[in-house]
Amino acid sequence: MALTTNKAILEWVDSQVKMLQPDEVVWIDGSEEQLNALRKEAVSTGEMIELNQEKLPGCYLHRTATNDVARVEDRTFICTPTRKEAGPTNNWMDPEEMYAKLNALYDGAMKGRTMYVIPYSMSVVGSPFAKVGIEVTDSIYVVLNMVIMTRVGKNVLDVHGDNPEFIKGTHAKKDVNPEERYIVQFPQDNAICSVNSAYGGNVLLGKKCFALRIASYLGRNEGWMAEHMLILGIENPQGEIRYVTAAFPSACGKTNLAMLIPPEGYRKAGYKAWCVGDDIAWLRVGDDGRLWAVNPENGFFGVAPGTNEQSNPNALASTRKNTIFTNVCHNLDDNTVWWEKLDKNPPTNAIDWTGKPWNGSVDKTNGAHPNSRFTAPAINCPCISSEFNNPQGVPISAIIFGGRRAKTAPLVYQSFDWNHGVFVGSIMASETTAAAAGAVGVVRRDPMAMLPFCGYNMGDYFGHWIEMGKKIPHQPKIFNVNWFRTDDEGNFIWPGFGDNMRVLEWILKRAFDEIDAVETEIGYMPRPEDINIEGLDDVTLDTMKELLSVDKEYWKEDVENIKEFYAKFDEFDTLPQELKDQLAALEKRLG
Ligand code: GTP
Ligand code: SPV
Ligand code: MN
């Protein structure tokens, strides 16, 4: 039975039923009863495996098809009336042509199946900044993940009333044929279409498709920003909490930094860290002239491999109940889960992520897929911020960009000002990871970590950043970090994880004008002795000198590469003059 009398929603759901022709339509009201029935059904069909309910209460395992394990950027489209609006970095197709293609794929796609109608809110239900979406899907896995990742249920519709505005999301699993897989955004229509996938970012339409691609488009029109950023609060011994956001590309450390545990010396002194978000931030200028951030999500869709008691105990703790694991290794001995680097004892009697028997003591293959994930409720996180459900969000003092760079980028530097900071974000580059299908470890430019997520012309997106700067009387300072510098043997030099607190301390001091810096060609930098290395065994002042060194030859090479990247925007001439000037100034400083 429909859970609303909202005409616009009912009409749209009707149109979906006509097209997809499901046998049955079920509205998701968000009740535990209904969800429990769905869990039972998914277990009975083998879609999900119920894990050891003593060790992992409320936890389930799901395996996707082996060809459906990551976002598919080459099959992701922004369909705007003109190619110029989508810009040179997005795949584009004429909306009419794309709708025709999708309608053919969707025609009767749910025959013999049930269509679930998921009403959900991104951000706190009914808050002035929340936005409502309806996703229809034929996958229980999608329903149960959306319930964790967003705010789902009848109350969303009740609060929404007759409001005709909502984001339409259509997902049909079909037979997950990669040749006919499409992830499509129609920004002008507030519509998202996904077909032939059942994996994460491709099908949990509230996440990348809505909260980044569609929201970035809305943000530009409405004067706010949707960014691929974590939100973190650092509490000092005086009890004052200062907040930062950080944009790193997929699988480059957002969840880890967002849940950081300060090193022992800091904890003893009284420092604490609070997680507000680990992947997406919606940013607005507050009445007080500061930039405020909310996390529109309600859970974490985090990378499992590498998560352990040392690297990220808060993430691990978050996954101990009411969590869905996707494509991890199934330990048959005690019906639990395992992934690479969870501990040094891989199970010997297990099923790997592909569904085959696996023995960790002899098999050289991965037990878990490198992009295997956990979907965990945010409230599970021991360090979740008390502001997590504050509809106003938190005020941001620093914006941090970063990526995986073996050599070029130093551990940390600060931009000279806002526009230079936008430039620093626009020239971000990082080695690709398993979060997206395709080659891993190739350096590519990924401005603001938004290359796969910007819902319109990225040149205009840079322009929006510059315009926003003018509207923020108390601008956050902008920084760049690189946790991934390597030595000649390819080992990471910086210990990373909790020790990143040492770099955050410098960043926050700079944000509040509490410490001087060295002016260099690329920006302001700490003196090597300005980063606290007390208690670190393997890091000396010489290590810090190396981590903070800037090789001008690498940077001159980088400038050539940036020019090539920027040249992409010549076609529609959307690159702001401010960024062209910044690049020329950098080249001049490098000599
Ligand atoms: P998405 O969810 O894809 O957006 O990824 P993310 O940015 O949240 O990345 P996440 O924190 O899950 O980290 C991904 C990988 O980077 C994991 O394998 C981590 O172990 C590794 N990693 C994270 N932080 C650090 C760090 O400070 N140093 C090093 N060397 N590795 C790190
Ligand atoms: C990312 O790839 O940046 C993720 C995972 O956070 S997904 O939801 O698949 O996009
Ligand atoms: Mn992400």
pLDDT of 427 reads 98
Share of the chain above pLDDT 70, in %: 100
* Predicted TM-score (pTM) of this structure: 0.98
> Taking 90 as the threshold, does the pLDDT of residue 1 lie above it?
no
Residues whose Cβ atom is located within 5 A of ion ligand 3: 250, 279
| Centre of ligand 3 from the C-alpha of residue 542, in Å | 34
> Taking 90 as the threshold, does the pLDDT of residue 558 lie above it?
yes
| Centre of ligand 2 from the C-alpha of residue 384, in Å | 20
Task: Provide the residue count of the chain.
Answer: 591
Cβ–Cβ under 8 Å, residues 328 and 304: yes
Among protein residues, the one whose CA lies closest to atom 10 of ligand 1: 253
Q: What is the mean pLDDT of residues 367-384?
A: 98
Which one of 279, 432, 433 would you pick to mutate in the ligand 2 pocket, going by the greatest count of ligand atoms within 8 A of its CB?
Answer: 279
Which one of 73, 212, 252, 339 would you pick to mutate in the ligand 1 pocket, going by the greatest count of ligand atoms within 8 A of its CB?
Answer: 252
Q: How far apart are the first and last CA of the chain?
A: 69
Confidence of residue 470 (pLDDT cuts 50, 70, 90): very high
Among protein residues, the one whose CA lies closest to atom 5 of ligand 2: 201
| Centre of ligand 1 from the C-alpha of residue 81, in Å | 37
For residue 340 the two structure tokens come to 């690479």
| Centre of ligand 3 from the C-alpha of residue 70, in Å | 11
Closest atom of ligand 1 to CA, residue 256: 11
DSSP letter string, 142-172? HHHHHHHHSEESHHHHHHHTT----EEEEEE
Catalytic residues: 252
Ligand nearest to the CA of 492: 1
| Centre of ligand 1 from the C-alpha of residue 288, in Å | 34
Q: Which long-range contacts (CB under 8 A, 24 or more apart) does 486-489 make?
A: 486/406, 486/407
Among protein residues, the one whose CA lies closest to atom 14 of ligand 1: 251
What are the structural domains, with CATH classification, of the chain? 7-30+72-222 (3.40.449.10), 227-295+388-571 (3.90.228.20), 300-380 (2.170.8.10)
pLDDT of 486 reads 95
> Taking 90 as the threshold, does the pLDDT of residue 347 lie above it?
yes
Using the structure block, give the residue that is written with the tokens 């769905």: 38
What phi, psi does 489 have (nearest 5°)?
-90, 0
| Centre of ligand 1 from the C-alpha of residue 483, in Å | 10
Counting beta carbons within 10 angstroms of the beta carbon of residue 76, is it exposed (0 to 12), middle (13 to 18) or buried (19 or more)?
buried
Which one of 76, 204, 208 would you pick to mutate in the ligand 2 pocket, going by the greatest count of ligand atoms within 8 A of its CB?
Answer: 208
pLDDT of 588 reads 98
Closest atom of ligand 2 to CA, residue 303: 5
pLDDT of 413 reads 98
> Taking 90 as the threshold, does the pLDDT of residue 37 lie above it?
yes
CA dihedral for 392, 394, 397, 398, sign (positive or negative):
negative
Contact residues of ligand 1, CB 6 A cut-off: 248, 250-256, 278-279, 302-303, 305-306, 311, 435, 483-484, 492, 496-497, 500
Ligand nearest to the CA of 340: 1
Confidence of residue 212 (pLDDT cuts 50, 70, 90): very high
Closest atom of ligand 1 to CA, residue 373: 2
Cβ–Cβ under 8 Å, residues 228 and 449: yes
